[in-house]
Amino acid sequence: MSLALTDDELLPEVINAFSLTINKTEHIDYFKKNNLSVEEIKLSQIYSAISAFSKVMTDLGFPKFFGKIGNIYRLIYNINERDKNIRISSLLKYSKEPVVICSSGVNDLMREIGANPFGIKKDYKYREIKPNYYYTLEKTSDPKTLENVMESIEKNYNSILSINDKTDIYTLGAYVPKSLQKNEMNIFRDLAISYNENLQDLCNQYGITFINTDEIGKEFIKSKNNFHISSTGHSMLANYILSYMYRNKIIENRHSTYQRNEIYEISNNGAKGVVEATLNDYNKCFYEAMDLIGYYRERMLFLADEHKRETEIFQKVLKSTSK
C-alpha cells in the first residue's frame, strides 16, 4: 500500500465484494474458503441486486419481474476477460502489502435481532398488534446476541490473517441513526454503541484499525427513518479511510504484528462451494424452524428463505460461468 501511494507506475489490484444480499460475515468466509474469482464475485453482485429488487417489488405488491431493474448493476460491475483468472484468496495470499476494509458485522447484528433501525421504529408503532417488536427487544437484551456477532467477525479476522498475516485490516464502526435517538429506542441505540465498543476492543486485540464513523453518521444521515449515509457522506467516508491508511502506511510506517498459528485451507470450488454452503444454511434453518412455534418459527423460516435466495444467486453464477 505504501508503494501504491508513492509510486506512479505501480497499480494496486482492487476487489470490491460489496453486495446488496450477500453481505454477512459467513459470506466473507465462503468467498475466501472457495477462492472465488472476480468474475464470480461481480456476477453475484448483479444477481444479488436483482434478487433484492425482486423481493422489494413483491413485498410492495408489484410483479416480481420488476426486480430486473437490478440489471442496471451490470454497468457498475462490468466483467472483463481477466476477471475469471483473478481469485480472491490467491490474490490475498501472494500480495506483499494487502489491505482489507471490513464493514459486514452490522448486517449480522440486524439479522440477530430481527430488524433494522427503520423496521424497529415501525414495529414499535404496531407492537400491540404484531410480535416483531418484542422478539427484537428480547434479542437486544440478550448478551449472547452481541457475542455471536463478535465471534463471527473474529472468525473473519482469523481467516484473513491466516491467509496472509501481513494484511492491514480496517474495520468500520456502526452508525447510530436518528431513528434510535428517542427514549423508547434507547435500548437499541445502546446496542449499537456496545457493538462499536466491543468491535474496537476486538480490533485492538488483533492490531486492526478501527474507524469510528459516528461523526460522519451524524452529519450525513439526513432522514430520521434512514440508516445509510448520503452519497456525499460516502465520499467523505472514503477520504476518512484514506487518511487512516496514509497515517498508518506513510507517516507511522506500521505493519501487521499478527502471528499466524494455523494454515487456512483454501479450495478452488468457486461458486459451487458457495452453493453448497448456503444450501446447508437453508437446511439448518428450515429444520430448526420445525421445532419452534409462533413468531420464533416464522422468523426462522424467514431466515431459511433468505438463505434460499442466496443459494439461487450462486446457482445463477455457477450456470453463467459454466457456459
The DSSP-derived string for 209-244 is EEE--HHHHHHH---TT--S--HHHHHHHHHHHHHH
Cα–Cα distances in angstroms (integers) from residue 145 to residues 109, 123, 151, 176, in the given order: 8, 19, 10, 18
The x, y and z cell numbers of residue 175, run together, are 452508525
Indicate the SS3 state at residue 87: strand
- The neighbouring-strand residues paired with 169 are 100
d(CA 241, CA 160): 19
What pLDDT is attached to residue 164? Answer: 93
Under DSSP, the state recorded for 168 is: E
Asked whether 140 and 191 are in contact (CB, 8 A), the reply is yes
d(CA 201, CA 95): 27
User: Considering only CA atoms, which of 226, 232, 95, 243 is closest in space to residue 163?
Assistant: 95
Tell me which residue has cell 437499541.
188
**pLDDT tens, position by position, for the chain (323 residues)?**
445 455 555 677 888 998 888 999 999 999 999 999 999 999 999 999 999 888 888 877 887 777 788 888 888 889 999 999 999 999 999 998 899 999 879 999 999 998 876 678 788 888 888 888 899 999 999 999 999 999 999 999 999 999 999 999 999 998 877 767 777 778 888 998 999 999 999 999 999 999 998 887 777 777 665 667 778 888 888 898 999 998 988 888 877 777 777 778 899 999 999 999 999 999 999 999 999 999 999 999 999 999 999 999 999 999 999 87
Q: What is the DSSP string of 136-156?
A: HHHHHH-HHHHHHHHHHHHHH
Orientation angle between helical segments 25-33 and 271-289, nearest 10 degrees: 140
Cα–Cα distances in angstroms (integers) from residue 207 to residues 103, 133, 242, in the given order: 17, 37, 18
Which residues, 6+ apart, have CB-to-CB distance to 319 below 8 Å?
A: none
What pLDDT is attached to residue 176? Answer: 79
Indicate the SS3 state at residue 7: coil
What pLDDT is attached to residue 47? Answer: 94
Indicate the SS3 state at residue 100: strand
What pLDDT is attached to residue 28? Answer: 94
Encoded amino acid at 323, one letter: K
